A = this chain, B = another copy of it.
């Protein structure tokens, strides 16, 4: 799979508010709860009804706004914000959102969570027609499309443009007099609407961001919808009716915050149920259950309850690992120096330990965890994964690496177990995953309204620019599979 395909992949969180005093400050707190969705860049654009004001930079939110004066400069009662993780090499400040485009007929700011599957093609066409791009981001394509059609009016131009882009996307747009939100036809990325006590509306990637600003939940944005918030209130419109719900299952598995509620399902509860179903599918003979902090603790406690085994704290995670931390040399790492996780010797020593983790990507972390527990005296280490094996990449905005780096794409479960060094290794089935989440408003959408392509290879949309590379990677896999026989 070509390198540049990976490069376009981003993880993000978005937040917007329209018509509330201290809009930038509210956005700051909203982004704070979304920081887990992206730690490499953050920004806010506000408007006072006249002008748009911007601050964005690389780094964590607290670093970007380390000088409180930067936040104070963002005056006005409306704002949008963005946190971003971009794969290395594409992390220049030019790619940090929200983007702010200045036009003689009115400025537009744009923030995006997701990934477009036809970005390369669209960009090439636009450039051949004279477009000048300022970033590597596929997000910017939307504004060029809008401007191509701007003589038809902004909203018509936006609707037309949203029908030209494909993939998974949640867009926020801010103009001096309105805030617009749009979601892809499959609702792959989460996006929800809340309301403050003063009546102002808030839009966010996850409900945890509504909670921190004390906004009451109004509704999830639905696939194909176009939400317009202006001085007259909230307007629910759509740019397409050809929709089918297929929410990204990884949001539930590990990406979203446990307190968020996506399409009616509390993430912690879904994870706990994944743990319970995992215990039913794969009971183990062990003295205790431990989780890998922090994202796997919910599933681990579910496994413990269902299995009746005691739930223990066998691994602890340092709260103090900073970006600037001096990493141990290879020599020290081999001596067992790890900065993030430690095994609790007094808990696991002499015990048969069932470790619950949420996923396996490259397998390197799993290998370290097993070794760490054995070094701390664990007699047996049984690894239980609360999701099915990741075998296919995500093209919709979560970076789980190129296909060639996915351990499960090339190895059987038994081969993985051997490489990781566990006494046993088991995964949750796709059916149980869907059952654990049980999206209430899935209707008759396939796979319970979820995207489970990472496990099955069946994507809910055409892959466009990625199609050729994807097929090529499959052939390679088959070749390898044959070589192994």
CB pair A326–B105 under 8 Å, yes or no, is no
The smallest beta-carbon distance between A271 and chain B, in angstroms, is 9
- Tell whether, in the assembled complex, residue B62 and residue A132 are in contact, meaning their CB atoms are under 8 Å apart: no
Asked if A482 is at the interface of the complex by the 8 Å CB criterion, the answer is no
Q: Tell which of A32-40, A359-367, A404-412, A419-427 binds the partner.
A: A32-40
Task: Give the CA-CA distance A481 to B47 in the complex, in Å.
Answer: 42
B102 and A35 within 8 A (CB) = no
CB distance from A152 to the nearest CB of B (A): 12
Let me know if B294 and A319 touch, CB within 8 A. yes
Task: Name A261's contact: one of B102, B298, B318, B345 (CB within 8 Å).
Answer: B345
B332 and A25 contact, CB distance less than 8 A: yes
**When the two chains form the complex, which single residue of B93, B101, B268, B342 contacts A212, counting CB atoms closer than 8 Å?**
B342
Q: Does A339 contact B (CB under 8 A)?
A: yes
Determine if B104 and A197 form an interchain contact, defined as CB atoms under 8 angstroms apart. Answer: no
In the complex formed, the residue of B with least CB distance to A349 is B266
Q: Is the CB of A266 within 8 A of B123?
A: no
User: Are the CB atoms of B301 and A259 closer together than 8 Å?
Assistant: no
Interface mask (A382-393 → B, CB under 8 Å = 1, otherwise 0): 000000000000
Note all chain B residues with C-beta closer than 8 A to A325.
32, 62
Complex CA–CA separation, A345 to B61 (angstroms): 25
Please tell me how many copies of the chain the complex holds: 4
Contacts of A468 in B (CB 8 A): none
Contact B130 A342 (CB under 8 A): no
Chain B minimum-CB-distance residue to A147: B130
A47-72 interface with B by 8 A CB criterion: 54, 60-63, 65-66, 68, 71
Which residue on chain B has the smallest CB distance to residue A134?
Answer: B134
How far does the alpha carbon of A136 sit from the alpha carbon of B25 in the complex, in Å? 26
Within 8 A of B (CB), among A117-173: 123-124, 127, 129-134, 136, 140, 143-144, 147-148, 150
Residue A199 CB within 8 A of the other chain: no
The segment out of A183-191, A221-229, A308-316, A444-452 that lies at the interface is A308-316
| Bound: A63/B265 CA distance, A | 40
Contact of A259 (CB < 8 Å), options: B25, B68, B150, B346: B346
Task: Indicate if the CB atoms of A66 and B324 lie closer than 8 Å.
Answer: yes
A197-B335, A267-B346 given; name 19 further pairs at CB < 8 Å: A28-B326, A32-B325, A33-B342, A35-B318, A39-B320, A62-B322, A103-B133, A104-B123, A130-B131, A131-B131, A132-B134, A212-B336, A212-B338, A212-B342, A214-B335, A266-B346, A269-B346, A304-B311, A319-B319
